[in-house]
């Protein structure tokens, strides 16, 4: 039996005209991230990027993809959507820079049940800000409107980044030896990991109000939790011009205990001094509020360290000085020792 009234895609919940208008709204934002290698504006079937291969002897492309995880739930609860866009870029480009690669371009995927243009524009504003901080171009993306897939007002994000490095400049940790030193660069907070446990402790167990400022914090809890992930790209690119970075670990899911061994040779271990760096107050609130064992803190959260560098002993102080001039807070947090298997000891 046929319907008497003609039906359209818009009747099913997908507004193509609204999607086109959204693309027009974000074009000026995307242009702010452009690099000389970008060939065309967004809106084509694929983004075009002309790699300047003359800058490299043996260019190797490095790719990374990631999301923001359940941190998005905080954005929904607070109706604040710009910072998660920065998080999305950070999680990808920070993974690329640890291999010595310069991020070149970024693509995003935004999926929702019904497109709310104002909300989506806020997300893209954050993505463009993250791309500017990383020095990479927002080359394109996908906006998917899928009625029935998501609750009203909610969405999901995914990001994809590509960088480039000369093959003989790839940082893979293979030259790390006993006696090398470990530098930790401060995180801006939880970054984008551990939010399922954080929500369980803070909102379900302690029943804290996101608008309140618990003892020890200097801002409302919601603002602290939505602090965007720090992007370390430009600082590390600066270090690479003058110093030898033998290994770099982005401290994401798995914390210090799981991520540092990923860059260590099998015969080395990292020995960290737990008292050598400052832990933001939010971590004390989580540890004490949830009675979380220390090992779990080090495995679930970054615990105040967003990026770890393994460097030659004689360059340690100079690197710390450079990081300070670059606006980073960093500490000498440990050293490399001999071991049977790659691991982390925290003393």
Using CA atoms, how far apart are residues 170 and 58, in angstroms rounded to an integer? 11
85 & 36 share domain: yes
Q: How many domains does the chain have?
A: 2
Q: What percent of the chain has pLDDT over 70?
A: 91
Domain boundaries, position 209: 181-346
- Answer whether residue 14 shows pLDDT above 80: no
The residue among 17, 234, 249 whose CA lies nearest residue 130 is 234
pLDDT tens digits, residue range 55-99?
899 999 999 999 999 999 999 999 999 999 999 999 999 999 999
- What confidence category does residue 18 fall into, taking pLDDT thresholds of 50, 70 and 90? low
In this structure, are residues 163 and 135 in contact, taking their beta carbons and an 8 Å threshold? no
Alpha-carbon distances, residue 268 vs 102, 136, 199, 260, 276 (angstroms): 27, 34, 36, 11, 21
Q: Is the dihedral angle over the CA atoms 99, 103, 107, 110 positive or is it negative?
A: positive
- The last residue of one of the domains, among 147, 169, 191, is 169
Is residue 79 domain-resident?
yes
State the pLDDT at residue 239: 98
Please state, as a whole number, how many other Cβ atoms lie within 10 Å of the Cβ of residue 216. 11
For residue range 215-224, list pLDDT tens digits in order.
Answer: 889 999 999 9
Nearest alpha-carbon partner for 171 in 231, 96, 105, 230? 96
When pLDDT is averaged across residues 230-243 and rounded to a whole number, the result is 97
* pLDDT computed for residue 310 by the predictor: 98
Distance CA 318, CA 185 (A): 14
Which pTM does this prediction carry?
A: 0.92
Given 119, 148, 169, the domain boundary residue is 169
Q: What's the mean pLDDT in 35-48?
A: 78
Can you tell me the distance from the alpha carbon of 335 to that of 183, in angstroms, rounded to the nearest whole number?
9
In angstroms, the CA 181 to CA 39 distance is 43
Side-chain-side CA neighbours of 244 within 13 Å: the count stands at 13
Q: Under DSSP, is residue 306 helix (H, G, I), strand (E, B) or coil?
A: strand
pLDDT, tens digit (0-9, with 9 covering 90-100), for 298-311: 999 999 999 999 99
Q: What is the CATH number of the domain that holds 260?
A: 3.90.650.10
| Nearest alpha-carbon partner for 281 in 297, 301, 302, 303 | 303
Final residue of a structural domain among 132, 147, 169: 169
DSSP letter, residue 49: B
Residue 175 lies in a domain: no
- Over residues 250-268, the pLDDT tens digits come to 999 999 999 999 999 999 9
Q: Is 115:19 a contact under the CB 8 Å cutoff?
A: yes
């Amino acid at each position: 039996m046929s319907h008497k009234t003609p039906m359209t895609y818009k009747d099913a919940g997908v507004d193509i005209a609204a999607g086109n208008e959204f693309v027009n709204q974000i074009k000026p934002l995307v242009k702010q991230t452009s690099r000389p290698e970008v060939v065309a504006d967004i809106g084509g079937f694929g983004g075009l990027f002309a790699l300047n291969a003359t800058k490299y002897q043996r260019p190797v492309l490095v790719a990374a993809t990631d999301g923001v995880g359940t941190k998005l739930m905080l954005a929904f609860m607070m109706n604040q959507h710009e910072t998660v866009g920065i998080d999305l870029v950070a999680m990808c480009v920070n993974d690329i820079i640890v291999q010595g690669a310069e991020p070149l371009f970024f693509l995003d995927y935004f999926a929702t049940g019904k497109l709310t243009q104002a909300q989506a524009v806020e997300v893209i504003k954050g993505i463009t800000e993250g791309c500017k901080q990383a020095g990479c171009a927002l080359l394109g993306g996908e906006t998917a409107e899928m009625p029935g897939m998501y609750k009203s007002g909610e969405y999901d994000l995914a990001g994809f980044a590509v960088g480039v490095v000369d093959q003989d400049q790839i940082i893979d940790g293979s030259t790390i030896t006993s006696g090398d030193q470990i530098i930790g660069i401060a995180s801006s907070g939880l970054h984008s990991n551990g939010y399922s446990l954080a929500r369980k402790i803070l909102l379900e167990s302690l029943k804290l109000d996101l608008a309140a400022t618990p003892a020890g914090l200097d801002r409302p809890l919601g603002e602290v939790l939505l602090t965007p992930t720090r992007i370390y790209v430009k600082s590390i690119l600066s270090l690479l011009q003058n110093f030898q970075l033998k290994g770099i670990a982005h401290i994401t899911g798995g914390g210090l205990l799981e991520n540092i061994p990923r860059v260590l040779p099998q015969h080395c271990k990292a020995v960290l001094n737990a008292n050598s760096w400052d832990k933001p107050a939010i971590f004390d609130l989580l540890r004490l509020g949830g009675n979380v064992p220390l090992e779990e803190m080090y495995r679930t959260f970054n615990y105040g360290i967003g990026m770890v560098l393994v460097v030659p002993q004689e360059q340690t102080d100079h690197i710390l000085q450079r990081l300070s001039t670059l606006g980073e807070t960093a500490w000498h947090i440990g050293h490399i020792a001999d071991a049977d298997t790659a691991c982390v000891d925290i003393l």
